[in-house]
Amino acid sequence: MKLYPIYFSPTGGTKQVAQIISQTWNWESETIDLLPPGDNAYHFAFTPEDLCIVAVPSFGGRVPAIAAERLRQMQGGRAAAILVTVYGNRAFEDTLVELADILSDAGFSPVAAISAVAQHSIFPQFAQNRPDDTDQAELTCFAQQIRSSLERHTPLDAPPVPGNRPYKTYHTIPMNPVGHNCSSCGICARECPVQAIPADQPDKVKKDLCISCMHCVSACPQHTRKLDKLLLTAAGLKMKSKCGGRKENQLFSIPV
Ligand SMILES: Cc1cc2nc3c(=O)[nH]c(=O)nc-3n(C[C@H](O)[C@H](O)[C@H](O)COP(=O)(O)O)c2cc1C
């Protein structure tokens, strides 16, 4: 029996949530980080004895395409999978239903799903500093409920998750960070999950490749990589009504 926390977490919120949930299982564990670039680097195979906690952020109410591509390389081998989506206090729409489909097609057995809120990676004024202590307690409680269900009933049926098929259309966000007074250390270019930053000009961005995930902004040791301030302020004001209030974490599982 082995635990696999598997996550795509450009700015760390999804990783935090995956770690909180994972702590409930005191098993041997191996983390799979879906962020590093590399074609065909994700050919992992699992067994029915494994438990995978698969966590992705919601991008435009969908699973980020690059995370989907990497998950599709895996062989689920009927491993139990807890589906997790983490969103920035707007909505996660079709993310869980898409994640359930991707994992079922790859041979995993989805057993429960969680939606959780974390600080918005583009607009940090929304869900600021979440997950907080309340989230931590709530997510731990969800994980304990799933653990008890799994101990009593193996295998569990697939959980009903909210969302629609066909999934909503993903609209690319025209917000691409660039470097200002960049020291050209190259960390962002090496770590960009989609290789959208030229190694020889790391202050630039290949707009056609950039997925606006903000990993480069959070990875820049000098904090020189940023979005255009005016654009960010204007877009943030537009988002205000949709991202206000405190949205709650949710557990989706088969009642037992
Ligand atoms: C390109 C992009 C699209 C996003 N779309 C949504 C969205 O549709 N709904 C939402 O509530 N948050 C959205 N967010 C916010 C992220 O889902 C949220 O901040 C998440 O915690 C980011 O995960 P990370 O910290 O692991 O990078 C989006 C963020 C990015 C970068």
Asked, for residue 47, whether it belongs to a domain, the answer is yes
Contacts of 143 (CB under 8 A, 6+ apart): 20, 21, 22, 23, 24, 25, 82
Asked, for residue 153, whether it belongs to a domain, the answer is yes
Asked, for residue 238, whether it belongs to a domain, the answer is no
CB 130 less than 6 A from any atom of ligand 1: no
Atom of ligand 1 nearest to the CA of 16: 26
- The three-class DSSP label of residue 233 is helix
Asked, for residue 115, whether it belongs to a domain, the answer is yes
Asked, for residue 152, whether it belongs to a domain, the answer is yes
Domain that residue 15 falls in:
3-166+245-253
Taking the C-alpha atoms of residue 38 and residue 153, their distance in angstroms, rounded to an integer, is 38
**Whether residue 78 is found in the same domain as residue 193:** no
**Whether residue 204 is found in the same domain as residue 110:** no
**Whether residue 148 is found in the same domain as residue 199:** no
**Whether residue 65 is found in the same domain as residue 158:** yes
Domain with residue 79: its CATH number is: 3.40.50.360
pLDDT of amino acid 255: 61
Contacts of 212 (CB under 8 A, 6+ apart): 122, 172, 173, 175, 176, 177
Return the number of other C-beta atoms located less than 10 Å from residue 11's C-beta: 22
**Whether residue 154 is found in the same domain as residue 204:** no
**Whether residue 127 is found in the same domain as residue 189:** no
**Whether residue 125 is found in the same domain as residue 30:** yes
Strands 80-87 and 225-226: unpaired
pLDDT of amino acid 224: 97
What's the distance, CA 103 to chain centroid? 14
Atom of ligand 1 nearest to the CA of 17: 26
Asked, for residue 172, whether it belongs to a domain, the answer is no
**Ligand 1 mean position to 56 CA, how many Å?**
9
CB 10 less than 6 A from any atom of ligand 1: yes
Asked, for residue 235, whether it belongs to a domain, the answer is no
pLDDT of amino acid 153: 78
Question: In tens digits, what is the pLDDT along the chain, a chain of 256 residues?
Answer: 899 999 999 999 999 999 999 999 999 999 999 999 988 899 999 999 999 999 999 999 999 999 999 999 999 999 999 999 999 999 999 999 999 999 999 999 999 999 999 999 999 999 999 999 999 999 999 999 999 999 987 667 788 999 999 999 999 989 999 999 999 999 999 999 999 999 999 999 999 999 999 999 999 999 999 999 999 999 999 999 999 999 999 999 876 5
CB 88 less than 6 A from any atom of ligand 1: yes
Asked, for residue 234, whether it belongs to a domain, the answer is no
- For Cα atoms 143, 79, 137, give the angle at the middle one, nearest 5 degrees: 10
98 in Cβ contact with 71 (< 8 Å): no
Atom of ligand 1 nearest to the CA of 211: 1
Domain count, the chain: 2
**Ligand 1 mean position to 151 CA, how many Å?**
33
DSSP summary character for residue 181: S
Q: Name the one residue in this structure whose structure tokens are 């409930």.
A: 24
What's the distance, CA 199 to chain centroid? 26
CB 64 less than 6 A from any atom of ligand 1: no
**Whether residue 19 is found in the same domain as residue 143:** yes
**Whether residue 162 is found in the same domain as residue 201:** no
**Ligand 1 mean position to 135 CA, how many Å?**
17
DSSP summary character for residue 101: H
The phi, psi pair for 242, rounded to 5°, reads -80, -25
DSSP summary character for residue 5: E
Atom of ligand 1 nearest to the CA of 243: 11
Among 14, 59, 241, 242, which is best to mutate for testing ligand 1, by the most ligand atoms less than 8 A from CB? 59
CB 213 less than 6 A from any atom of ligand 1: yes
Atom of ligand 1 nearest to the CA of 126: 19
pLDDT of amino acid 154: 66
**Whether residue 118 is found in the same domain as residue 52:** yes
**Whether residue 73 is found in the same domain as residue 150:** yes
**Whether residue 147 is found in the same domain as residue 205:** no
What's the distance, CA 244 to chain centroid? 21
Domain with residue 196: its CATH number is: 3.30.70.20
